[in-house]
Amino acid sequence: QGREAAVLFAKEGAKVVVTDVNEEGIKETVDIIKAAGGQAAGRRVDVSEGAQVQDGVAFAVRTFGTLHVLYNNAGVYLRGKDGPVTRVEDDIWDTTLTVNLKSMYLCCKHAIPEMVKAGGGAVVSTASAAGLIGSNFHAYSASKGGMIALSRSIATTYAAQNIRSNVICPGFIDTPMVAEISSSPRLLQAYLDSTPLHRAGKPLDIAYMALYLASDEAAFVTGGVFVVDGGVTAR
């Protein structure tokens, strides 16, 4: 869903820096944006490594002059390996918390000072509905719950410097992360049956929410938790 967000942001006039560990994916996204007349640049960044995050932020400022929006969208769910705390292995716990939560900390740590220099900005982070309810995949849920808490803390701490922070909590979104579920009629049906709107979410459903939260239209919106799950958590 990161690509859809990057393309949508650029379509609305944003100058976008695409970061990922997949260099081919970066190039494809940048090419799509440029082909549509947008402005974009790419940088390989492992967001679990502080030095690389610092380099990525510096690259963004060097390329486009200022930084106004940070979209924390890295994530991992190790299906089949994540589980209850009594069964999940230490390395699975560490990897999940590092990719999902530590990456947000590192990106905010290095991006927020640049936003302050620019006069303000918006942090948008993708957590999960799993961070709001109980689940059987404890590492993932803990990491996403941590993202929610960190986003709200950033919102209150940096409000005086005109920094807003909001978090999106998607439900079941049809992305490569859940390909194993989408390709199984039985598993997919189980998810659809638990969703009042009775469909999987689309990456654009999340991208449009991210766009709103990053925009000037959301100037009075901070510290929010926005659930985009087709009604799952309303039950």
For the annotated catalytic residues, the residue numbers are 140
Round to whole Å and give the CA distance between 137 and 88.
Answer: 9
Q: Which residues pair with 121 in a beta bridge?
A: 163
- What is the β-pairing status of strands 69-72 and 39-44? unpaired
Here the tokens at position 216 are 């000037």
Residue 120 contacts residue 162 (beta carbons within 8 Å): yes
Sign of CA dihedral 166, 171, 176, 180: positive
215 token code pair: 């925009």
C-beta separation of 230 from 201 below 8 A? yes
